[in-house]
A and B are shown apart, each in its own frame.
Chain A
Amino acid sequence: MKKKILVIDDDLNIREYLVSLFKDNGYEVYVAGDVKQGLSQTKKNKPHLITLDIEMPGEWGPRFYHQLTQDPELKDIPVIVISGLSGHQCAVVKAVASISKPFDRDELLKIVKETLKK
């Protein structure tokens, strides 16, 4: 069974990039453009991993993480932060990784692979 990844980013181009990258590497991918959509997609599809942008219109990425951890069913889903914001490493302390934009796709795939193995 394919592992499921949810991509949360407000930039359409970056969303499409990540969708292609993950699909090409054998993952099933879902997308969300903001925190609200991200939460409903998480509840609906129960992804195995989430990539999260920090700065988005409306609520910020850390708000999503906070709400995620409030749900006992979802709180253990690993989150990788992908952001262009300086200081993003501190935004979600329990993230499995914090990657700066523009990122190295091999490095991202390696982290995703290792995280999903666990």
Chain B
Amino acid sequence: MAARLELRLNPSRKLEYLVPVFSVLLSLVVCAGLLLATGTNPLVAYGAMLREAFGSSYGFAEVLVKATPLILCGLGVMLAFKMLFWNIGAEGQLHMGAWGATAVVMTGWQGPGWLMIPAMMVAAMAAGALWALIPAYLKVRLNTNEIITTLLLNYVAILWVAHFIYGPWKDPVSFGFPMTQQFPPGAQLPRLADSRVHLGFLVALALVVVVYFVQEKSRWGFEIAVTGGNPRAAEYAGMNAARNVLVVMAISGGLAGLAGMVEVSAIQLKLLKDISPHAAPYGYTAIIIAWLARRNPWGVLLVSILMGALYVGGETVQITMKLPVNIVLIIQALILFFVLGGDILSRYRLVFDRQEAVGGG
């Protein structure tokens, strides 16, 4: 008996949305098995994670804090995926954005104070966009594989930031820690109410709406969808694929760059090494988010908040139950694994052939 995959003629719409839901549930089940194997009651652990993330106003504020860079990176990655440009480089673009924002601070801002934050945002988006344009340009001109170039440029960007915080921008009184001085108050994003939630979250929310209209309602969004659906049809319809790749990647990198800016300006208040959580960097989590969100901006918002909760819950069980924070990474990886598998099964049907008797027919 042999198994093979057969294309489904009418892939179900419902399945498209059920796959992410079941993937999340399945990954929690598998992870529960792992927790059991280490002698932890998974229900207790999950309960603690849930309570922390959604049970207290402090916890939920933290969820939104984590969700902010995820929304921004997720939107960027989603736009690129929409036209089948596999941008795996949000992490590098985020780092370049953080660097660009910091550059405004470090070079001594001379303009009016109220303009400093907008200037940092613009610098961050420009830095992220330029960084994303490198692989985009290479793709358009030389047809390089963007998965490789965007991925490898992440390491370059992280080392670029390291160069500045170990070298020219290092705080002289940091006792040798690689970080800049704390940003002046004028370079810090205002916080909302009494929480750590900051203006960046509102900006991210606004951008969800903007991206929704651009992607789903505009002529240009239609071009992106056609290019992603059938590049040859896009050419036939008179769309300029090369220019669209450049524009989409500039936006994608700009959004990730903005994520870097909000992290340094609202959370870290300085440029330092781990602007993105070491265990599960935002730029990579964004890939999972874009995939789970079914390339839908509202989906990005929803999934980012869930992922934010996973981060917060993971930190909690690390502190209270001494579980490794890598549990976050394991659950994320399992989710992606199940979504990819589920996507294949929703487009194909698994068929078992019984070998025909020889001589028949």
On whether the two chains bind one another, the answer is no
